[in-house]
Amino acid sequence: MTSKISAKQAVLFTAINYIGVAIGVISTVLIYPLDKELLGIVRYVDAFAQLLFPIMVLGSTNALINFYPSLSQKLQEKLFSFSLLSIVKMAVLVAIVIALSSFYLDGEKFKYLLIAFPLGLFMAYVELYKRQATNLQKLSVPTFYEKIIPKLALPLVFILVLYGAVSTDSALGLYVVAYGVIMVLVGRYVFKHYRHKLFNSYEDLFEQLPKKNYYAYSLYSFAGSFGAFFAFRVDSLMIPEFISFDANGTYNIAVTLASTLAIPATGVFALYAPVIARLIKENAWGELNIKYKNVCKYLFFIGAFLFSCIMVGIEPLFLILPTYENLAPSLPVIYILGINVVINMSTGFNTEIISYSKYYRFNLIAILSLMVLNIVLNWYLLSQTDLGILGVAYATLISLTLFNLAKTLYIYKKMGLWPFDKSFVKMVAFFVVVVLLVFEIPLTNYSWFDLLYKVFLVVVIHLIALYKFQWVPEITDYLNKLKTKIVG
């Protein structure tokens, strides 16, 4: 496997993600606010599925990425085959546990858990196929299926419910079917580019890759993924319990819009994962540190640039829309979660560095600590204050900032890698000053004008500063090429 990231794959990956985001944003601001309770229920079921699928995967997807480069072609095939069968076995165990849980859960919760089971199974296989596609450096098509189909399916079922064509339960069923279609399409694509068969014996695989090492890594990865649910996704389960499905819908509107900032990071992390694994195995710390710094600067600039546009322009945009009254409660949550996303992006691929190093166990400690902190903060702010979903947003910001800080310091202490320099600090200070100054400019009575001139100010000021100070060489080079094409 080459260490060079395919530029075509990176561009396609990012483009597909943004197409999916565009569809999702349109749905979020025009369709979902019309029935926030239904959105809250869908995200509640989705949260159950996100809880189940790490159990079914049991760390096999991370193990596939971690051990794949060090194996021969035949053993690579066996590792993938073993992962396929492992999900089936774990799904059977999960089904048994769900059946037993019917004695303890009330009817509505058990119903949503049943609907979540096939959704979680489909997600598990989609995740495995995506990891194999990452090994093959053919991630764009699976990304297209995964990012576009749900974005089309969910607004469609919303429209069907809004017009009385289907019930809420039927809509949830259609949403699950959409993920089944994704699983089939992604699997078909991977098998088209990867000759594969199931094996009866895996003795030679585990002679070269000791079972103790495989299961130790897989279980640690599972614990991290399982803890990650409680660290990152537990909000969608807790908000309905303490407030309502409607409030869950309001919060998830904010989550959807804020998460658009992270699309460039998603592509970079996915495509760099095999490269990071190889560089660590080769002890190429100098090369890794350069990539670490460059990626952190690049992702911070992209994230902060997009967040600046959202922060100064989203309220004028909402004022233009017919759904403003339903969208307005999400505004303060969007600001808080947006800051959180930028902080997460600015620390680069610190999780991946730890995951593929001999210190991978620290990820488990960090995730479990984050899980406890996030749950405690959510419980306290939901039950002991009147902040509501704003309290959930604060809990997320506090816990994830501490989480990223801890990982960054740990990497520096153990591996001597540090992602920040003076130019990074200057860039952060500049962004903060500019966005606050433009944000504080009072709105006029003309929302279109407010939207255009505020976003225009932010874009022009940031691009001029970036070009003048050359904080991010990759983007400066791109601007120089663009300038040459236009002028020359």
- 304-348 pLDDT, tens digit each: 999 999 999 999 999 999 999 999 999 999 999 999 999 988 988
92, 80, 81: which is closest to 55 by C-alpha?
92
CA distance 177 to 257: 25
Find where tokens 């902060």 sit: 304
State pLDDT tens for residues 82-135: 889 999 999 999 999 999 988 887 778 889 999 999 999 999 999 999 988 888
Same domain, 354 and 484: yes
Please tell me the total number of residues recorded for the chain in this structure: 488
79, 41, 118: which is closest to 218 by C-alpha?
79
The amino acid sitting at 423 is S
CA distance 186 to 129: 7
Using alpha carbons only, how large is the chain's radius of gyration in Å?
23
pLDDT of amino acid 488: 58
- Give the CB-side neighbour count of residue 133, counting CA atoms within 13 A: 26
Q: For residue 4, is pLDDT > 60?
A: no
State pLDDT tens for residues 388-423: 999 999 999 999 999 999 999 999 999 999 988 888
Question: Is there a contact between 268 and 299 (Cβ–Cβ < 8 Å)?
Answer: yes
The amino acid sitting at 234 is V
Domain-ending residue, one of 213, 233, 253: 233
CA distance 186 to 141: 8
Query: Does the pTM exceed 0.75?
Result: yes
Same domain, 409 and 332: yes
Same domain, 346 and 424: yes
In a domain, 13, yes or no: no
State the total domains in the chain: 2
Tokens of 179: 């993920």
If you average pLDDT over residues 164-175, what whole number do you get?
A: 93
What range does the domain containing 344 cover?
A: 284-488
Q: Tell me how far apart the terminal alpha carbons of the chain are, to the nearest angstrom.
A: 39
Contacts of 194 (CB under 8 A, 6+ apart): 80, 132, 136
Going by pLDDT thresholds of 50, 70 and 90, the confidence category of residue 232 is confident
In a domain, 134, yes or no: yes
Q: For residue 6, is pLDDT > 60?
A: no
CA 209 to chain centroid: 30
Going by pLDDT thresholds of 50, 70 and 90, the confidence category of residue 210 is confident
CA distance 405 to 5: 27
In a domain, 265, yes or no: no
CA distance 316 to 444: 9
If you average pLDDT over residues 31-59, what whole number do you get?
A: 93
Contacts of 300 (CB under 8 A, 6+ apart): 342, 345, 346, 424, 427, 428
CA distance 417 to 293: 9
Lowest mean pLDDT among 154-168, 293-307, 353-367: 353-367
Please calculate the CA angle 351-356-359 and round it to the nearest 5 degrees: 80
Same domain, 82 and 165: yes
pLDDT of amino acid 5: 47
In a domain, 9, yes or no: no
Going by pLDDT thresholds of 50, 70 and 90, the confidence category of residue 63 is confident
Going by pLDDT thresholds of 50, 70 and 90, the confidence category of residue 7 is low
Count of C-beta atoms within a 10 Å radius of residue 94: 18
Same domain, 192 and 302: no
Count of C-beta atoms within a 10 Å radius of residue 220: 21
In a domain, 459, yes or no: yes
Same domain, 219 and 353: no
In a domain, 241, yes or no: no
- Averaged pLDDT score across all residues of the chain: 87
In a domain, 257, yes or no: no
If you average pLDDT over residues 445-453, what whole number do you get?
A: 92
Same domain, 127 and 212: yes
Count of C-beta atoms within a 10 Å radius of residue 254: 25
In a domain, 262, yes or no: no
